[in-house]
Structure 1
């Protein structure tokens, strides 16, 4: 049985209004056995901010997204989403481990687009997009259909609404996956290497869709990517990760043109030379 770490305890709840971050990690630890993936991580994302996480594979970037979606549980620390603890809830004046109802409530404001498209092959594009809004949010089928049409227009696939995923290219499937995530009207959109499974010639179309979303909406975006030009174009802030820690952070112009840390410089040199 894994022994508890004296540091791996819920952080004290901050006073109301003490932080305007929409997402806040406080001393978050994630381990797999002896492998520390996140090492007492502190970071914040403001509402409406677009933050990109860069760094080598295994540095903890995707783990952050999976923790926010409650696909993983932290070993310590507290994750806050819009002022509510994701991992704990208040009971009797104390923070106790969250139950499933609390988790569903807090993560309802978060949407995620994965590396793989994860569309239901037996459903049309329309049903892939409308199924969750109808059955989870309780919206009418007519309203869900209208929203699906609007989102497919946004991602450039309005004519594919009655197609099945097998009739679409990989890039088109990923654009449908983006529309499906937006159909739930999330406040936060998580993007996990969304072009990594695509053929190179399909990458630009997906990135153009995301650039359009970034510049025409006020959605908060937290993105993991190796597409450095995309990170430079859409981000308000870029965080360089290595070994579960933030090595450096700053605006894209500074990170990509004048990185302060040698680890950032060596990573960017390796990535940009590929």
Structure 2
């Protein structure tokens, strides 16, 4: 569902991703771990088309995202192509990014109506269904400022799902939450991973969550994949010294 083929990303003279290649299969939950500055969030920003690649090709669902076909050639994607490709991808951010002046229901229905072209009634039915799914069926008319951080993050997850994405990106989705709210959000994401068939790419420092939910874990350092594998193998018996160092530091801190 997602393929990075020799992807390079530079910011000026700094190379953040250096010939990165990896794939994520349909319905697979892939966690991206590694130290700050290793390039994990840049991967999500490239998939959201918030940044453009410096080299290589990104594909989603077998179709190029960073490029488009022109005859038998691939050329850099124009804005129209990027906008169409972006509809297949949802993202849940660290800071929720909800509209405080809109009700919870309207936060979820705005994009499906204006981007997907759903009727207001269809979008509302879908939003109510998703709010029930995330345990907030009785909060449709509330405004985000009247919800806890954990509840706001659940609304943000429902909003992303309302766009019916093939791929859902999660960027440290519990980092802004109080510790007692983290478990509920992680339990919800685990349930969604088991039941929706969506491909998840999750940047996280929650090693227990990555171990429990992931189908595969990728360890990043200096813009490249140092090691990848099933979570039980990578966490219990990592092959690479850099992975062992990182896990030792993170697990000792927790």
Task: Give me the TM-score of the superposition, normalised by structure 2.
Answer: 0.98
2:74 corresponds to 1:95: yes
Decide which of 244, 252, 271 is 2:231's aligned counterpart: 252
Map of 1:205 onto structure 2: 184
Deviation readout 1:226-250 (Å, 9 max, x if unpaired)? 0011101111100000000100000
| Stretches of structure 2 lacking an aligned partner (at least 5 in a row) | none
Deviation readout 1:161-195 (Å, 9 max, x if unpaired)? 11001001111111100000000000111000001
Cα RMSD for the two superposed structures: 0.8
Map of 2:125 onto structure 1: 146
Decide which of 161, 165, 177 is 2:144's aligned counterpart: 165
Deviation readout 1:31-59 (Å, 9 max, x if unpaired)? 11222110110111111111000000000
CA distance in 2, matches of 1:37, 1:71: 15
Structure 1 runs of 4+ off > 6 angstroms?
Answer: none
Decide which of 11, 14, 22 is 1:43's aligned counterpart: 22
Shift of 1:24: 0.7
Aligned residues: 253
Map of 1:4 onto structure 2: none
Between 1 and 2, higher relative CO (CA 8 Å, sep ≥ 6) is seen in: 2
Matches within 5 A, 1:120-269: 120-269=99-248
SS at match of 1:30: strand
| Stretches of structure 1 lacking an aligned partner (at least 5 in a row) | 1-21
CA distance in 1, matches of 2:8, 2:203: 19
2:60 corresponds to 1:81: yes
Shift of 1:87: 1.4
Map of 2:84 onto structure 1: 105
SS at match of 2:121: helix
